[in-house]
Chains A and B, each alone.
Chain A
Amino acid sequence: MTTDQKGLPALWAAFPHTIPILAGFLFLGIAYGIYMDASGFDVVYAALMALTIFAGSMEFVAVTLLLGAFDPVGALMLTLMVNARHLFYGISMLDKYRGTGLKKIYLIFGLCDESFSINYTTEVPKGVDKGWFMFFVTLLNHSYWVIGATIGGFFGTFLKFDMEGLDFVMTALFVVIFIEQWMKEDEHHSAVLGLGLSLLCLVMFGGDQFMIPSMLLILCILTLLKKQLGKTGESVCQ
């Protein structure tokens, strides 16, 4: 089949799943663009950074990096730490992204929190190409973010809108996706561990520092439980 024949139904199937992201990313993207504008950067910066980095929280951090002293190694290290969670997304998506051809490069490039959680949990409707579905989920998310950042950077502080709190739609989305995943599984050990250990680390290390300890702790405990959890994992597949 040609791209057109597979592409359009996949785009049509993917769009409804990205509606919450449309709201969240447009809002956050605009906020980011305004922040860039207020920090003295041309709209070109906001648009290009949204396009090439495509990792929301890191882009806000990047503004402070650009305003500080030139420190490329520090910038790289900080990015690796802030975005370390992507490693978990990659390991989780090794199988799902298999056999998607050249699209795989873009799928990995655009593996943000939202693309991961939608592409991991959504059951692609019958007759829709899985690879193209995931491609369009990623592409739509990416577009919302770039469009938002460009609008924000362009109009800057001229935009008077009181939409504060709209970004909560992202939190709500992750809560809903967590519940959906919970309902699908027979065993909840891993979900409880992820939630509980991260909360524990948040309390112990605080919001700026807790992600790396959380990831290490989750890895350790899951490794220790491999004997028990590995078995149930297999029986689910059969």
Chain B
Amino acid sequence: MSMTLFEQMITIGMVVLGTMATRFVPFLVFPPGRAAPPYVSYLGKVLPAATLGMLVVYCIRDVSLVSGTHGIPEFVSIGVVAFLHIWKRKMLLSLASGTLLYMLLIRVLA
């Protein structure tokens, strides 16, 4: 290990500090006592739906279309999850079926 224990602690501390900054900043900038500006209230209303969409894309960020399994397991399984959920609307059923299918596909197609 090239770093000393102290340097390691500082490095981990920086990662903790950075992570906490991204989580605490909105709450520190807009404390509950004062009314948030209308623009921020507007963002609070419209951002969540956009953020959930972004999070879905975030999950497939490492999928490669040109190598490996060409993203087929991911896209087929996501399709099945979406189809099952819109059809039956049973969360655990959608999750379990999609995940098992994915685990099967990456083994069969590999």
Contacts and interface: CB of A to CB of B under 8 A. Distances in A.
Contacts of B62: 207
A53 B16 contact: yes
B66 interface: no
User: What is the predominant secondary structure among interface residues of chain A facing chain B?
Assistant: helix
A116 B50 CA distance: 13
Contacts of A94: 26-27, 30, 32, 36, 40, 44
Interface string B34-54: 001001101111111111111
Contact count band on B? 35 or more
Given A117-B52, A172-B99, A190-B46, A198 B11 contact: no
A173 B74 CA distance: 13
Interface string B58-94: 1111110000000001100110011001100001101
A181 B49 CA distance: 7
B44 A173 contact: no
A195 B43 contact: no
B53 A178 contact: yes
A181 B42 CA distance: 17
Interface string A80-124: 100111111111101101110000100011010100110011000
Nearest to B48: A92
Nearest to A110: B23
Contact of A52 (B16, B91, B106): B16
A171 B23 contact: no
Contact of B27 (A83, A88, A90, A219): A90
Interface in A21-43: 23, 40
B61 A210 contact: yes
How big is the A interface, by class?
35 or more
Contacts of A179: 82, 85-86
Could you say which of A49, A67, A165 has the most chain B C-beta atoms within 10 Å of its C-beta?
A: A165
B34 to A, nearest CB: 11
A83 B19 CA distance: 6
B51 A20 contact: no
Given A108-B24, A165-B103, A215 B17 contact: no
Given A89-B23, A91-B47, A190-B49, 19 more contacts: A62-B15, A70-B7, A72-B10, A77-B18, A79-B18, A80-B18, A83-B23, A84-B22, A89-B51, A94-B30, A94-B40, A164-B106, A168-B74, A168-B98, A174-B52, A176-B81, A194-B50, A202-B60, A222-B46
Q: Which 5 residue pairs spanning A and B have beta carbons closest together?
A: A79-B18, A194-B50, A194-B53, A90-B26, A195-B53
